Each structure stands twice: as C-alpha cells, then as structure tokens.
C-alpha cells in the first residue's frame, strides 16, 4: 500500500497523539519536563516549527488547495479553542496587549499573507 503525502502526515499525527496520550496517562511529569526543555529556547523552537510547517505546507499543497488547508486550519483552531477554554482567565493574564503583535509578528505575517490572497 502506497500512502500519499497527506496520508503520511495524518499517520504521523495519529501516532504522535496516541503516544502523547499514553505518556500523559503513565508519566505526565516526563512530558511536561520535555516541553520545558523544548520551550527553553523559544526562538530556536519557532524556527524549527516554521521549517516543519513549511515542509508540511509544501506536501499538503501537492494534494489540497490552499482553501482546503485553511478550512482544515479553522477546524483545528476550533479544537484548540475547545481545549484551552477552561484556562481562559489564566491565559489572558499572560498576554500583554502592547507586545502581542511584536512577539508574534511572524505568525501574523503568514496568516495575513494567506488571507489577503483570497
């Protein structure tokens, strides 16, 4: 059986989610400690995620249109909103309205680039 790029990405995501749920059930502190290490250098983490996102976008565009990708992104955003909703008060305290654009400029530029073209 031969998988296309989208199916491979879905398979990778499925395996990562299952592993994450198993680790959270068995040893949640290990996962949180690992997250602290990954996020200890935010700029490097952002660069790695930017590169991975670019590679994924390239392969997704081989099969899907940008409109389909954005629609799937809206679905994922809804899922993350559902996940983070119980923590709204705590999260809002973390954001500083004066620096939110400066701290997240790259994500905003990418988001605007996709949306302004359609």
pLDDT of residue 85: 92
CA distance 68 to 79: 17
Measured in whole angstroms, the distance separating CA 51 from the mean position of its chain's CA atoms is 12
Burial 8-23 (b: 16+ CB within 10 A, else e): ebeeeeeeeeeeeeee
Residue 115: pLDDT above 80?
Answer: no
* Residue 41 three-state SS: coil
Per residue in 24-80, pLDDT (tens digit) is 899 989 988 888 888 888 888 888 988 998 899 998 998 889 889 888 888 988 998
**Domain residue extents for the chain:** 1-64, 66-118
pLDDT of residue 116: 65
Prediction pTM value:
0.69
Higher model confidence: residue 52 or residue 105? 52
Higher model confidence: residue 79 or residue 101? 79
Instruction: List phi, psi (to 5°) of 110.
Output: -65, -45
Helices (H) and strands (E) in the chain, counts: 7, 0
One-character DSSP codes across 43-71: HHHHHHHHHHHHHHHHHHTTTS-HHHHHH
Higher model confidence: residue 68 or residue 108? 68
Per residue in 3-20, pLDDT (tens digit) is 888 888 899 999 999 999
pLDDT of residue 75: 92
Residue 114 — pLDDT band, cuts 50, 70, 90?
A: low
């Amino acid at each position: 059986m031969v998988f296309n790029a989208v199916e491979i990405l879905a398979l990778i995501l499925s395996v990562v989610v299952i592993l994450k749920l198993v680790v959270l059930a068995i040893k949640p502190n290990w996962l949180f400690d690992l997250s602290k290490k990954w996020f200890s250098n935010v700029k490097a983490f952002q660069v790695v995620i930017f590169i991975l996102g670019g590679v994924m976008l390239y392969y997704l565009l081989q099969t899907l249109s940008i409109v389909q990708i954005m629609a799937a992104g809206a679905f994922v955003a809804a899922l993350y909103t559902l996940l983070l909703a119980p923590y709204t008060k705590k999260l809002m305290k973390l954001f500083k309205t004066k620096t939110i654009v400066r701290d997240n400029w790259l994500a905003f530029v990418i988001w605007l680039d996709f949306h302004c073209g359609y």
